[in-house]
């Protein structure tokens, strides 16, 4: 399995060839509380690095999900529309939001590794 990378906004990305799966971290879903709605982007949409790619709503708040890298949306997790709680149950697995064709794979290398992300969390918790 490809290694995961993280952003300071608590998105994760897992690269498989030139396609990346994107979601929010376990930490992010615990901060949100019970997820009640997910708004996914249309397939074919181009997103810039740092641009809003999806929206997740919980009983506490609505939050944007930002694209960790630039690329084109090639798939979305339609299962979340009927079962948004999957984000709470398995944020870094079945609760993924979208898959994108990465414009520049080097952008992934600029993100935090799992170890770096854990260290980052310790500075904010």
Q: Which CATH number fits domain 4-124: 1.10.287.610, 1.10.3720.10, 2.40.50.100, 3.90.1150.150?
A: 2.40.50.100
Domain ranges of the chain: 4-124
- pTM, full prediction: 0.94
- Average per-residue pLDDT in the chain? 95
How far is 54 from 39, CA to CA, in rounded Å? 6
Q: What are the pLDDT digits (tens) for 70-115?
A: 999 999 999 999 999 999 999 999 999 999 999 998 999 999 999 9
């Amino acid at each position: 399995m490809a290694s995961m990378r993280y952003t300071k906004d608590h998105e994760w990305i897992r690269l498989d060839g030139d396609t990346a799966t994107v979601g929010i971290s376990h930490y992010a879903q615990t901060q949100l509380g019970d997820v009640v709605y997910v708004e996914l982007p249309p397939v074919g949409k181009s997103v810039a690095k740092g641009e809003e790619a999806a929206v997740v709503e919980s009983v506490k708040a609505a939050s944007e999900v930002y694209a960790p890298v630039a690329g084109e949306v090639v798939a979305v997790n339609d299962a979340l529309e009927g079962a948004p709680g999957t984000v709470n149950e398995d944020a870094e697995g079945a609760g993924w939001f979208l898959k994108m064709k990465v414009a520049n794979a080097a952008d992934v290398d600029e993100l935090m590794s799992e170890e770096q992300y854990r260290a980052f969390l310790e500075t904010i918790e």
